[in-house]
């Protein structure tokens, strides 16, 4: 997997602390949208459909810091719009690095090369470049010729300068699995740290509604795409989420896992659904009817959704909250992905139920992680206390 050990440690320790303290709902990644405007007009995006009065606005740096502190998630994704259009984006990034947050700055890379001098390479900062395929596919997806070459050039420059670089790919119902595999090979040759892939979900504000994937289409596409993938491919995602996409592991949505903060406040319940806003993170968590979202809820808006924002947190929770998830993750990490055989309707495990075996495995994992990071000067998460371990053993 294309994720540094220090970041894996931070996330694992954070998740285990929530479990040890009996917290059932907690954020994993803050989706921080400091603006909506963009220098592209992609047919599958709904952000730039806001009126011009909204597109001219930005969140101030202090508003961003306040949201990050309020949320407490160990990772921050900065999408948009195009974040590099924000006049204070460099100050925002510097402030988050000082807070030791792992940042994924999502960009189409049009402005990336000219901005590199204003950023400092850091393990906390990753440029997540939006690429939806090889040149023809990507330029068609973003509705402008030449953007693929601009992005590839910027990636090379950023990698040469020592920056962490990943890619973010959204696949639609016209994706060709063989072309995607060639695309993955090219990304690895560019030297990116890892790739993130996600199915295109019917985002209601997007101009093009014909290319989004339904659930069965997603399973077929990713079943072919990830059938015995090359060991040279590095994904910036949890193994369980990729297993979920190809029908080999069932997950239920965690809608609170990637909360969104933007110009209007805290979005309910996630960035894909427009169902109002809250004035604080606490209000979002305490007043949202979370049982009304996710596939098992019967909500028709959630039926086909399999995107990373809802299911990546579920995959992480399963990895550290169930013996089945932990063992599957270990197996895939060591031996790689096997053939795709769909198990589309297998019930998802209840993350709130544990057993002595699971508890013992989690405590052992926590101790191993603590030992592995004793020499790391920058460990931003503290190991579990004896009281917390005792609490876990009694759960």
**pLDDT for res 194:** 95
Q: How confident is the model at residue 393 (pLDDT cuts 50, 70, 90)?
A: very low
**pLDDT for res 250:** 93
**pLDDT for res 388:** 42
d(CA 315, CA 336): 17
The percent of residues above 70 in pLDDT, for the chain, comes to 82
Instruction: Output the DSSP codes for 131-149.
Output: --SSHHHHHHHTTSTTHHH
pLDDT in tens, 139-184: 988 899 999 999 999 999 999 999 999 999 988 888 899 999 999 9
Residue, of 239 and 200, whose pLDDT is higher: 239
C-alpha distance from residue 274 to each of 46, 204, 264, 270 (Å) = 11, 9, 11, 8
First to last CA, the chain: 32
d(CA 369, CA 372): 5
- Asked if the model's pLDDT at residue 392 lies above 50, the reply is no
**Range from 29-38, 314-323, 325-334, 378-387 carrying the lowest mean pLDDT:** 378-387
- Asked if the model's pLDDT at residue 353 lies above 80, the reply is no
Average pLDDT value for residue range 340-353: 45
pLDDT in tens, 261-313: 999 999 999 888 889 999 999 999 999 999 999 989 999 989 888 988 999 99
Q: List the chain domain ranges.
A: 20-335
Cβ atoms of 47 and 80 closer than 8 Å: yes
| Cis peptide bond upstream of 81, omega within 30 | yes
Give CA torsion, residues 215, 216, 217, 218, to 10 deg.
50
Cβ atoms of 305 and 258 closer than 8 Å: no
Best CATH choice for the domain 20-335 from the list 3.40.640.10, 3.90.1140.10, 3.40.50.620, 3.20.20.70: 3.20.20.70
**pLDDT for res 186:** 96
Q: Which residues contact 136 (CB under 8 A, 6 or more apart)?
A: none
**Range from 51-65, 160-174, 222-236, 373-387 carrying the lowest mean pLDDT:** 373-387
**pLDDT for res 201:** 72
Q: How confident is the model at residue 364 (pLDDT cuts 50, 70, 90)?
A: low
Residues counted in the chain: 395
Average pLDDT value for residue range 340-354: 45
- Asked if the model's pLDDT at residue 78 lies above 90, the reply is yes
**pLDDT for res 126:** 98
The DSSP output letter for 88 is T
**Range from 93-97, 294-298, 365-369 carrying the lowest mean pLDDT:** 365-369
**pLDDT for res 380:** 41
- Closest residue by Cα to residue 32 from 305, 263, 286: 263
Q: Which residues contact 386 (CB under 8 A, 6 or more apart)?
A: none
Structure tokens at 382: 């503290």
Quote the mean pLDDT of the chain. 85
Strands lying side by side in the sheet with 277-278: 194-199, 164-171, 125-130, 102-107, 75-78, 29-32, 260-262, 265-267, 277-278
Predicted model pTM: 0.83
Average pLDDT value for residue range 184-197: 96
**pLDDT for res 219:** 93
Q: How confident is the model at residue 121 (pLDDT cuts 50, 70, 90)?
A: very high
pLDDT in tens, 8-48: 899 989 998 998 999 999 999 999 999 999 988 887 676 76
């Amino acid at each position: 997997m294309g994720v540094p050990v220090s970041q894996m440690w931070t996330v694992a320790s954070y998740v285990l602390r929530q479990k040890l303290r009996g917290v059932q709902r907690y954020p994993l990644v803050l989706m921080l949208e400091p603006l909506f405007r963009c220098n592209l007009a992609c047919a599958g995006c709904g952000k730039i459909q806001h009126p011009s009065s909204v597109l001219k606005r930005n969140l101030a740096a202090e508003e961003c810091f306040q949201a990050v502190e309020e949320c407490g998630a160990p990772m921050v994704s900065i999408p948009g719009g195009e974040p590099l259009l924000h006049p204070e984006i460099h100050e925002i990034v510097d402030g988050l690095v000082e807070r030791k947050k792992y940042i994924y700055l999502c960009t189409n890379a049009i402005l990336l090369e000219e901005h590199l001098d204003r950023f400092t390479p850091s393990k906390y900062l990753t440029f997540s470049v939006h690429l939806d395929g090889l040149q023809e596919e990507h330029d068609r997806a973003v509705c402008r010729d030449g953007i693929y070459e601009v992005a590839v050039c910027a990636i090379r420059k950023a990698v040469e300068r020592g920056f962490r670089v990943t890619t973010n790919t959204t696949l639609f119902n016209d994706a060709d699995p063989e072309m995607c595999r060639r695309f993955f090979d090219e990304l690895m040759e560019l030297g990116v740290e890892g790739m993130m892939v996600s199915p295109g979900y019917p985002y209601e504000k997007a101009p093009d509604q014909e290319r989004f994937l339904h659930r069965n289409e997603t399973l077929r596409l990713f079943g072919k795409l990830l059938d015995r993938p090359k060991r040279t491919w590095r994904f910036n995602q949890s193994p369980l989420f990729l297993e979920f996409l190809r029908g080999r592991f069932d997950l239920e949505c965690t809608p609170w896992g990637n909360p969104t903060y933007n110009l209007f406040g805290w979005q309910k319940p996630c960035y894909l659904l427009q169902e109002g806003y809250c004035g604080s993170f606490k209000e979002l968590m305490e007043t949202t009817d979370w049982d009304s979202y996710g596939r098992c809820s019967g909500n028709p808006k959630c039926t086909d959704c399999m995107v990373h924002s809802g299911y990546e947190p579920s995959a992480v929770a399963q990895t550290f909250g169930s013996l089945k998830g932990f063992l599957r993750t270990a197996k895939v990490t060591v031996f790689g992905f096997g053939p795709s055989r769909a198990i589309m309707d297998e019930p998802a495990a209840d993350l709130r139920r544990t057993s002595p075996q699971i508890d013992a495995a989690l405590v052992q994992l926590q101790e191993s992680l603590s030992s592995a990071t004793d020499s790391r000067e920058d460990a931003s998460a503290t190991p579990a206390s004896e009281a917390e371990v005792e609490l876990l053993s009694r759960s």
